[in-house]
């Protein structure tokens, strides 16, 4: 039985996903300004936040297992490692500092949709948001659709588009994001800093030889954040061996309501490839 508080957190999480996905389609020019709200509500009430993925290979052993496993993956419409908030304000996209608009919000929490007035702070669902004034104040109410908080963290197990074999996906652990300085144990390799929207993914299996057996960033280099399509939150290795994936502390907290509501071990077992 799922607790009522968990349902509230799940709905808030699903709302964040809906807004993020709608914003992505809006920026890509797939929907018009007048279609934003309809798209948000349609995404909110249809479908799940997760999907099943079969992974094979020993790169992620022992987390997944040498013979593969069925994974429950939380969808990520736009991976954002920096935590910079972006918003849709009166159909204009603005950042947390109010560029391209009059107002901005700062928060480290989930997304929220709220009608606010020209005040300095807003309290909603137990979260305190700071309202940033960026020009002359306005007296009328302003409608804000805000997308808040990081979506991926270093230490998360993510599904990434294969940078070599287009159309395929690989499961690796997020080891570094933009701004990290990368240094190799091989003296022939020069240190470098990951650029904007770049990340470094690694295999878990320490028994594999780097650049030879371990197919990860040590082989193909950095990958772009947009290639991350989801975070693995649960793994079924066989009918009696399954459990949550060891992600970062922040992600496990964010994913807990999704796991409680959408996890169906019996369904995963039916789709498992022995």
Say which CATH number the domain at 230 has: 2.10.109.10
Which one from 59, 86, 102, 218 is the annotated catalytic residue?
A: 59
Q: Look at residue 135 and give its three-state secondary structure.
A: coil
| Given the residues 9, 102, 172, 231, the one annotated as active site | 172
In a domain? residue 163? yes
The answer to whether 151 is a known catalytic residue is: no
pLDDT number for residue 82: 56
Please check whether residue 52 is in contact with residue 71, taking contact to mean a CB–CB distance below 8 angstroms.
Answer: yes
- Mean pLDDT for back-to-back runs of 10 residues, the chain (274 residues): 93 92 89 90 91 92 85 89 46 36 36 36 37 36 43 94 92 96 87 95 92 90 95 94 95 96 95 78
Q: How many domains does the chain have?
A: 2
Give the separation between CA 15 and CA 12, rounded to whole angstroms. Answer: 5
Same domain assignment for residues 131 and 143: yes
Domain extent, residue 160, equals 49-82+152-271
Per-residue confidence (pLDDT) for residue 262, from 0 to 100: 97
C-alpha distances in Å from residue 274, one per residue of 56, 62, 172: 11, 17, 22
Place of tokens 């496990």: 252
Among this protein's residues, is 59 annotated catalytic?
Answer: yes
State the CB neighbour count (10 A cutoff) for residue 41: 12
The predicted structure's pLDDT at residue 52: 96
Residue 242 included in any domain: yes
pLDDT at 213: 86
**pLDDT of res. 67:** 77
Query: Is 75 part of a structural domain of the chain?
Result: yes
pLDDT of residue 227: 94
């Amino acid at each position: 039985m799922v607790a009522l508080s968990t349902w509230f957190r799940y709905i808030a999480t699903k709302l964040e996903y809906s807004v993020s996905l709608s914003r992505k389609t809006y920026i890509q020019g797939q929907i018009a300004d007048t279609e934003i709200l309809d798209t948000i509500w349609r995404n909110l009430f249809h479908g799940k936040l997760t999907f099943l993925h079969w992974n094979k290979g020993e790169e992620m052993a022992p987390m997944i297992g040498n013979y593969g496993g069925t994974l429950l993956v939380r969808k990520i419409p736009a991976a954002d490692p920096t935590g910079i908030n972006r918003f849709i304000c009166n159909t204009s996209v603005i950042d947390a500092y109010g560029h391209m608009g009059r107002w901005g919000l700062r928060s480290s929490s989930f997304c929220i949709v709220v009608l606010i007035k020209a005040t300095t702070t807003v309290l909603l669902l137990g979260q305190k948001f700071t309202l940033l004034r960026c020009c002359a104040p306005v007296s009328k109410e302003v409608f804000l659709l805000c997308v808040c908080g990081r979506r991926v963290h270093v230490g998360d197990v993510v599904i990434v588009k294969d940078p070599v074999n287009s159309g395929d996906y690989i499961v690796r652990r997020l080891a570094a994001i933009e701004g990290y300085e990368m240094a190799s144990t091989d003296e022939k390799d020069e240190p470098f800093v990951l650029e904007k929207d770049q990340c470094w993914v690694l295999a878990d299996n320490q028994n594999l030889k780097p650049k030879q057996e371990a197919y990860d960033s040590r082989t193909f280099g950095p990958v772009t954040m947009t290639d991350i399509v989801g975070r693995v939150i649960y793994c079924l290795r066989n009918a009696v061996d399954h459990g949550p994936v060891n992600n970062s502390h922040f992600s496990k907290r964010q994913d807990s309501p999704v796991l409680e509501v959408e996890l169906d071990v019996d369904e995963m077992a039916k789709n498992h490839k022995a």
